[in-house]
Amino acid sequence: MARLTVTAHPLRSRPIAALIAAQVVSSLGSQMTFLALPWFVLHTTGSPTRMSIVLAVELLPIAVLGIPSGSVVAKLGARRTMLFADLARAPLIASIPLLHELGALSFPLLLLIVALVGVFIAPYFASQRLILPELVGDEERVVAQANAVVEGAQRATALLGPAAAGLLIATFSAPVVLYVDAATFLCSFALLALFVPSQPPVPQAEDGRGVLAGIRFLLRDRLLRVVGATALVANGLGQMLTAGLTVLAYEEYSSSRVAGAFFAAFGAGAVLGSIAAVRIVGRYDPLRLGATAFVMLTLPVFALSLELPVPAVMVALAASSFFGPLVNAPLIGVLTTRTPEALRAKVMTAVLTTAMLAGPIGMVLAGPLLESWGPRPVFLLVAAGQLLATIPFAVVAFRGDDVPQPVVEA
DSSP string, 168-203: HHHHS-HHHHHHHHHHHHHHHHHHHHHHSPP-PPPP
pLDDT over 50 (residue 250): yes
Q: Please report which residue ranges of 208-357 form alpha helices under DSSP H.
A: 213-220, 222-248, 256-280, 286-298, 310-322, 324-338, 344-356
Mean pLDDT in residue range 209-234: 76
Band (pLDDT 50/70/90 cuts) for residue 138 is low
Instruction: Pick 383 or 155 by higher pLDDT.
Output: 383
Question: Rounded to whole angstroms, how far apart are CA atoms 39 and 29?
Answer: 15
| Cα distances (Å, whole numbers) of residue 392 to 222, 291, 328, 396 | 11, 10, 17, 6
Between 100 and 35, name the one with better pLDDT. Answer: 100
Instruction: State yes or no: pLDDT of 204 exceeds 80.
Output: no
Residue 202: its pLDDT value, please? 57
Confidence of residue 395 (pLDDT cuts 50, 70, 90): confident
Q: What is the pLDDT of residue 203?
A: 58
Half-sphere exposure of 109 (CA within 13 A, CB side): 12
Instruction: Residue 30: name the closest of 141, 165, 223, 172 by CA.
Output: 165
pLDDT for residue 140: 62
Residue 165: per-residue pLDDT: 87
Q: Answer positive or negative: Cα dihedral of 125, 131, 132, 137.
A: positive
Assess contact for 131 and 224: CB atoms under 8 A: no
Average pLDDT of span 95-123: 93
pLDDT tens, 171-192?
Answer: 888 899 999 999 999 999 999 9
All domains in the chain, ordered by first residue: 14-196+208-402 (1.20.1250.20)
pLDDT in tens, 339-369: 777 777 777 777 777 677 777 788 888 888 9
Mean pLDDT of the chain: 82
Neighbour count for residue 112 (Cβ, 10 Å):
13
